[in-house]
Structure 1
């Protein structure tokens, strides 16, 4: 009887050990799954951080590119401003020289009315400069945007490129340009 109880007690102990071993195996399996998930998540996290670093580097490259573009814009704005100032100074100087020339020549014109005091090309250039300055002042006063019409053009007889209607020589091929309606020579009065 005592042997049977001892055997039963040992069987119960074995059964309890077996149950604990099964529980330990389950915990071990869960730990293995959790550990694998942990390793996988760590790997993903590392990849995410690397991607974030690449994105930040790309962002900084774009920021630097934008900074350089803004610097170029500032340089161009100051260059345009300087060029406009230079153009205005040149126009003013041209106008002043034109006015001074006429002031100095006024007396000679009155003495010799038959001979022109200045060549036609200089007079035309001075008048064009003065007209350009007047038109620039008018453009500055206008608030609405205004597009200038292109100058009248004609085709060069040699190279067939479009050139200004009044150009005496083609600026591209240097060929002389002939007018379709040449000026007729002035008749001298019969003596």
Structure 2
């Protein structure tokens, strides 16, 4: 293996680490956004009920003059509740919008890394996830945001060896499903960290051996 190939493999390993860390941060942002949006939407549903109640109270006011004083008190109380609810809804949806400003560029970066380094499809948008309360027009994307993912990719480096590519794919799936680092061990020849199940070291090509080999059973 040439020094150039070794550098390319090292860069791919670094890219895997970066993608893993940024994917974890992306998932945290996504959970926060979904939580704020669901809470804000619940406040919106309550707000619609309160406004309907206000309409009924106004009708009651016109038809029952003798109860006017009590109805005025109810109206004042309901106006206070509506104002508080509107403020709460606005705060929650504003918080979701601010979180999305952090989420959107990070997701674009992760999508680009997935496509350029691993040849993977982009992650689904928030409104594309099953059961998401977010509609496509909730957080409109700026012009050209989607085009960045669809733009032609720069020339890709040659693919890694099959055994190393298999280990990379296994590591990436482990991160996606469990959000935990893959099991690693030190190569006994070059002392670099490699996947615990790799049959050979992808860096120095030395055969991977266990520090505690199993002893043959006595017959």
**Fold shared by both chains (TM-score > 0.5):** no
**TM superposition score normalised by structure 1:** 0.33
Structure number with larger C-alpha Rg: 1
Higher relative contact order (CA 8 A, sep 6+): 2
Task: Considering fraction of residues, name the structure with more helix.
Answer: 1
